[in-house]
Amino acid sequence: MAVAKEDAAQRAGLDTDALRTMYRHMARARVLDERMWVLNRQGRAPFVISCQGHEAAQVGIAMALRPGYDWAAPYYRDLAVTLVLGMSPKDHLLATMARAADPNSGGRQMPSHFGCRRLNIITGGSPVATQVLHAAGAALASRVRGEDAVAMTSLGEGSTSEGDFHEGLNFAAVHKLPLITVVENNGFAISVPWDKQMPLKDVADRALAYGMPGVIVDGGDPIACYAAMKTAVERGRRGEGPTLIEAKVARLTPHSSDDDDRIYKTREALAEEKKHDCVLGFRVRLEEAGVLAPGDAEEIRAEIMREVDRALQEAEASPLPSPESALLHVYGD
């Protein structure tokens, strides 16, 4: 088993260092996400929305992009995507604490409304699926200039019911834009299960109607996600058009810190999902393949904990925005 999976990594062009980096990204997102929940339960952070269970998909997808060259229009769960692209735990803790120095929004938006011009991470709002069109537009602009940059956008399976999902995929397909749409399908849109969003089991089937490849990938397997994304990115760079990737993932937390998932998700189902926790699973896999030595994972985790502790201290010491600054930046002139 371990040998076969190592083969998969080799086929995807991932060497040992890349696999360790991949694991580190996943563990870092998980530790940071868990810390945000602790802050929320301690009454120090008003709102948290989580990536737990999506880390493998997000890290695999994002590692196939060129940060600062390619474009990303992520959604609110994509904490790990933004970390891979170059944002830091401190950046996000500043947002959690609504501080003036929050690079996403200066404390203006709820946490997890990501954005960073320097890294081509397009600012997101709260209405879902609107970002699909922004990513298509970014892809269009790159092509008009003759660049081979691609644009990635992501959203949950519930958001594929929105009109902008259809309009964006159709536009990108008609104009053969290098747009990669990643649907992180965790089976629930807050409380509403996937079968109340669509009569299909697989979102990827919709790709047929847009005349683009629709790829289903195990969202618990970062190597598979990386490989699928790499293929889609290369296709986009060659000018062959868009791809729809559906990553089957698990949502290991309620929708947000304001949600109680016990009402609509059985504890047995959740326990089953946690048994296949992607971060733990990838650690075991890398240990079996000898990529991680005994003790490596603990060391990586301790190192991340120190980074997050430091980031939290700095974020809490960082000033809140001044009240009157609410009036700034409505217009540019």
Partner 1 sequence: MPTKTYIEAIREGMRDEMRRDERVILMGEDVGVKGGVFKATEGLHKEFGEMRVIDTPLAESAIVGVAIGAAINGLLPIAEIQFQDFIMPAVDQIISEAAKIRYRSNNDFNVPMVVRAPFGGGVHGALYHSQSIEAIFCGVPGLKVVVPSTPHDAKGLLRAAIRDPDPVLYFEHKRAYRLIKGEVPDGEYVEEIGKARVVREGSDIAILTYGLMTHFCADAAEKLAADGFSCEVVDLRTLRPLDREQIIASARKCGKVMVVQEANLAVSIASEVAAIVAEECFEYLDAPVMRLGGPEIPGVPFSPPLEEFYMLTPAKIETALRRLAAY
Judge whether 226 counts as a catalytic residue: no
If one asks whether residue 163 binds partner 1 (CB under 8 A), the answer comes out as: yes
Distance CA 228, CA 217 (A): 7
Distance CA 39, CA 93 (A): 10
Please identify which residue in 29, 31, 61, 138 interacts with partner 1, judged by CB under 8 A. 138
**Cβ 256 vs Cβ 48: under 8 Å:** yes
Catalytic residue among 255, 262, 267, 301: 255
Please identify which residue in 127, 193, 239, 290 interacts with partner 1, judged by CB under 8 A. 127
If one asks whether residue 139 binds partner 1 (CB under 8 A), the answer comes out as: yes
By residue count, the chain amounts to 333
* Nearest one of 156, 181, 157 to 233, comparing CA atoms: 181
If one asks whether residue 60 binds partner 1 (CB under 8 A), the answer comes out as: no
Please identify which residue in 164, 184, 261, 277 interacts with partner 1, judged by CB under 8 A. 164
Whichever of 25 and 143 has its CB closer to partner 1, that residue is 143
Q: For residue 243, which phi and psi values (nearest 5 degrees)? A: -140, 145
Judge whether 255 counts as a catalytic residue: yes
**Cβ 224 vs Cβ 161: under 8 Å:** no
Judge whether 69 counts as a catalytic residue: no
If one asks whether residue 168 binds partner 1 (CB under 8 A), the answer comes out as: yes
Catalytic residue among 24, 251, 283, 285: 251
Minimum Å distance from CB 320 to partner 1?
14
Angle (CA) 274-277-281 rounded to 5° is: 140
If one asks whether residue 167 binds partner 1 (CB under 8 A), the answer comes out as: yes
Distance CA 103, CA 99 (A): 9
* DSSP β-bridge partners for residue 332: none
If one asks whether residue 68 binds partner 1 (CB under 8 A), the answer comes out as: no
Minimum Å distance from CB 58 to partner 1?
21
**SS3 state of residue 185:** strand
> Residue 293 CA to chain centroid, in angstroms?
28
Please identify which residue in 13, 125, 211, 239 interacts with partner 1, judged by CB under 8 A. 125
If one asks whether residue 171 binds partner 1 (CB under 8 A), the answer comes out as: yes
What one-character-per-residue DSSP string does 30-72 give? HHHHHHHHHHHHTTS-S--B--TT-HHHHHHHHHTS-TTTSEE
Please identify which residue in 33, 55, 78, 102 interacts with partner 1, judged by CB under 8 A. 102
Please identify which residue in 16, 21, 170, 191 interacts with partner 1, judged by CB under 8 A. 170
Size of the site for partner 1 (CB under 8 A): 48
* Nearest one of 229, 227, 283, 308 to 20, comparing CA atoms: 283
Please identify which residue in 96, 104, 243, 253 interacts with partner 1, judged by CB under 8 A. 104
**Cβ 184 vs Cβ 251: under 8 Å:** no
Active centre residues (catalytic): 251, 255, 264
Q: For binding to partner 1 (CB under 8 A), which residues are involved? A: 71, 73, 102-106, 108-109, 113, 115-117, 120, 122-123, 125, 127, 130, 132-145, 151, 163-164, 167-168, 170-171, 174-175, 328-333
